[in-house]
Structures are given as C-alpha cells and as structure tokens.
C-alpha cells in the first residue's frame, strides 16, 4: 500500500500538517488495516463528523494530531474508557499498527483519520466540539531554513482554538528546546488562550501523557522534554499577559 492520505482527489495545499515518508507495513499491520479500517476509520470525504453518532455516545472528546505508531494514543484511550479519542495520522504503518493493537487489546474508543490534519479540522470537526487537542513531538524541522514548515504557527493555533470548547485544553510536547521556545512564543501571543502553568512557564508531564519513545530517545541524547498546556478562554489577548522574554 502506498503511504498516501485516504483521499487523493482533494485540493492541493501549499502547506500541510505532515511530510510523507517511506515505510512498509508488516503483514500483520496490513491485515489489521484491511480488516479494521471500515470499523475504526473515518473518511475525510464524508465531511462534518457527528461525534456522538460515530462513537454511539456523548463523552469528552480528545483529538490527537500525528499519533505516529499510536502507542501513546492507545494507552490514553485504555486509561479513559469513557472518553472518545480521534487520531489523525497519514502514515499507513502507524495506522495499521494502531488498529492492530486496538483489536489485540480490545480498545474500541478510538477513531482514525488518515488525512491532512489541517483539512480535517477545517472540513470535518465542528467548532467548539473538542475537550482536548494534543500534538506530541511534531517534526521539529531543526534546520533554520526549514523552520517555516513547523506545524505550530499562529494561523494553525487559531484554527485549533476554534475547535476547542470553552475551557478546552491544547497540549503540546516537544523534545527540541528551540521548538519549545517557538511554541511558547506563539501560544503566549495567541488570542483566547491562557497558560495553565503560569505566564511563560512549561508544564510538568501530566500523568495522562504516557512516556513515549521520543521522550526516552531524548533522555538518552541528553535532551529535555517540554510540555505546554493552554486552555481556551473568553478573554482577548492582552500584552501584559505575555512574559517579557516572550515578546522579543
């Protein structure tokens, strides 16, 4: 199977939330994908998502953008069986692995989009419908000339804000200090968000975010890990709410 989003006839965009990478599915992942996609997969082409109908119930709704191989998302769904989890990931080995693990461990409260997150948010997710949005260890684009491709930019953060309920949580994590600083600048300057850890402060890793392979890798390399947790508020942005170092 080619590593492409589920809909190849959608309009092209100059900037996407992902970069296609090569990768082959194992036979087990391929079988899980082939047999499980109809039950667990969501099609971008179907348009606006009714979460209650999709999961057969009301409940707190968590959206994860770029779940990789799905280990963290699966662990969170296991720990919160009354919550509804929506994962977005374009790489088929990760999607296949998550479906394989969901079925092996009888986890049924996850649904999956295999499509660009920017387009899914725009066309499928209703405004003010999500309790939590999480983006863990997005591509850091560590070369300066490529940093304009980073996902966490002001326009994307505003799109995320519109999808959160009032009081909803945006949770980011990265193991690249430069990206963490950019995330803090962007979120501190964004309208309608409040840092729950205090102005300019990073959050300790919460218990509900599992320790990931990226975090373990970072520890081995001597990297830190930075969590940012901001909630959606009604208050407009005020310059005095931004730490002086974030204004530079």
- What was the pLDDT predicted at 142? 65
CATH fold group of domain 1-7+37-59+71-121: Rossmann fold (3.40.50)
* Contact yes or no for 127/158 (Cβ under 8 A): no
Q: Which residues contact 24 (CB under 8 A, 6 or more apart)?
A: 93
Contact 141, 149 (CB under 8 A): yes
Cite the active site residues.
139
Domains 1-7+37-59+71-121 and 127-248 equal at CATH topology level = yes
Rounded Cα distance between 65 and 171, Å, is: 11
Q: Look at residue 223 in the predicted model and tell me its pLDDT.
A: 76
- pLDDT of the residue at 216: 78
State the pLDDT at residue 146: 62
Q: What is the largest CA-CA distance in the chain?
A: 55
pLDDT of residue 202: 98
The reported pTM is 0.85
Q: Rg (Cα) of the chain, in Å, rounded?
A: 18
Give the CATH H-level superfamily of domain 127-248: Vaccinia Virus protein VP39 (3.40.50.150)
Give residue 237's pLDDT. Answer: 52
Q: What is the DSSP string of 85-151?
A: EEEE---HHHHHHHHHHHHHTT--SEEEE-S-HHHHHHHHSPTT-EEEEEEES-----SGGGGGG-S
Contact yes or no for 127/64 (Cβ under 8 A): no
Element holding 195 (H helix, E strand): strand 193-195
Query: Using an 8 Å Cβ cutoff, are 174 and 186 in contact?
Result: no
Report the distance separating Cα 176 and Cα 188, nearest Å: 18
Residue ranges per structural domain of the chain: 1-7+37-59+71-121, 127-248
Entry field: residues in the chain:
248
- Give the pLDDT of the chain (248 residues) as one tens digit per residue: 334 456 433 444 444 545 455 568 899 999 999 999 999 999 999 999 999 999 999 999 999 999 999 999 999 999 999 999 999 999 999 999 999 999 999 999 999 999 999 999 999 999 999 999 999 999 986 667 767 889 999 999 999 999 999 999 999 999 889 999 999 999 999 999 999 999 999 999 999 999 877 677 777 887 789 999 999 998 655 544 454 444 43
What Å distances lie between residue 231 and 5, 28, 107, 220, CA to CA?
30, 39, 28, 31
């Amino acid at each position: 199977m080619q590593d492409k989003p589920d809909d190849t006839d959608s309009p092209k965009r100059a900037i996407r939330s992902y970069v296609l990478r090569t990768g082959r599915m194992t036979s087990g992942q391929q079988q899980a994908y082939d047999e499980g996609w109809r039950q667990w997969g969501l099609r971008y082409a179907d348009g606006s998502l009714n979460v209650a109908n999709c999961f057969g119930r009301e409940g707190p709704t968590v959206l994860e953008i770029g779940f990789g191989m799905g280990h963290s998302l699966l662990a969170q769904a296991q720990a919160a069986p009354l919550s509804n989890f929506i994962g977005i990931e374009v790489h088929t080995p990760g999607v296949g692995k998550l479906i394989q693990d969901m079925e092996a461990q009888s986890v049924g409260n996850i649904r999956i989009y295999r499509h660009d997150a920017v387009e899914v948010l725009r066309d499928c997710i209703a405004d003010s419908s999500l309790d939590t949005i999480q983006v863990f260890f997005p591509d850091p684009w560590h070369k300066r000339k490529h940093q304009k491709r980073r996902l966490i930019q002001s326009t994307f953060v505003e799109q995320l804000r519109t999808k959160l309920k009032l009081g909803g949580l945006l949770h980011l994590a990265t193991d690249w200090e430069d990206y963490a600083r950019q995330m803090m600048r962007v979120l501190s300057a964004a309208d309608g968000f409040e840092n729950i850890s205090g102005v300019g402060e990073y959050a300790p890793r919460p218990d509900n975010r599992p320790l990931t392979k990226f975090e373990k890798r970072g520890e081995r390399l001597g990297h830190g890990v930075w969590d940012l947790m901001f909630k959606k508020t009604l208050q407009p942005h005020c310059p005095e709410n931004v730490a002086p170092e974030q204004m530079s």
